[in-house]
């Protein structure tokens, strides 16, 4: 299965709908393909302009490292110099906090959803809900 624009838009809608249902702050959502390239992005009304870079960094970092951003967060606590080096190699597009969730289809990484705007845990929960609602496997990494 290949992540296409229609699927990316559906993931964004699902993420934002989940945020509205939970009464969360305005979110921004970036969906990247298996290569870490943006497929679609939306920023809710009221979300700050820097949110693209954050959402992209969560999703991109997850894909290029092959683990959800919660796992990157845990690794950053244990090995901060390693994650700092990986972020440098990724051109700053690696945000090691929860909210970057891998999308898996039959175990294979097909992309990731990066979410920012509320707490990192809430960002992650909205991405997971949207991915699972589409019948795919959400992989946030770590002990989430």
The token pair that represents 35 in the structure block? 């290569």
Domain ranges of the chain: 5-139
Helix (H) or strand (E) segment spanning residue 29: strand 28-33
Distances in Å between the alpha carbon of 43 and those of 4, 14, 35? Answer: 19, 14, 22
- pLDDT, residue 136, reads 97
Q: Taking phi first (over 0 means left), then psi (-120 to 50 degrees means alpha), and beta for anything else, what does residue 66 get?
A: left
Q: Tokens 């950053």 appear where?
A: 76
Question: Mean pLDDT, the chain, as a whole number?
Answer: 96
- pLDDT, residue 144, reads 42
Distance CA 127, CA 125 (A): 5
H-state helical runs in the chain:
5-22, 51-65, 69-78, 80-89, 120-133
Tell me which residues of the chain have a pLDDT lower than 70.
Answer: 142-144
Which is the CATH superfamily of the domain at 5-139? Haem-degrading domain (3.30.450.150)
Q: Count of CB atoms within 10 A of residue 106's CB?
A: 8
Q: What is the DSSP letter of 39?
A: E
The pTM of the full predicted model, rounded to 2 decimals, is: 0.95
- pLDDT, residue 51, reads 97
């Amino acid at each position: 299965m290949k992540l296409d624009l229609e699927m990316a838009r559906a993931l964004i809608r699902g993420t934002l709908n989940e945020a509205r249902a939970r009464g969360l702050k305005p979110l921004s959502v970036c969906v990247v393909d298996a290569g870490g390239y943006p497929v679609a992005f939306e920023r809710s009304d009221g979300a700050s302009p820097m949110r693209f870079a954050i959402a992209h960094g969560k999703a991109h970092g997850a894909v290029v490292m092959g683990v959800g951003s919660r796992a990157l967060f845990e690794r950053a606590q244990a090995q901060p110099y390693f994650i700092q080096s990986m972020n440098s190699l990724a051109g700053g597009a690696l945000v090691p906090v929860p909210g970057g969730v891998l999308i898996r289809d039959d175990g294979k990484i097909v992309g990731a959803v990066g979410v920012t705007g509320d707490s990192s845990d809430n960002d992650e929960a909205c991405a997971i809900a949207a991915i699972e609602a589409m019948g795919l496997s959400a992989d946030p990494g770590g002990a989430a």
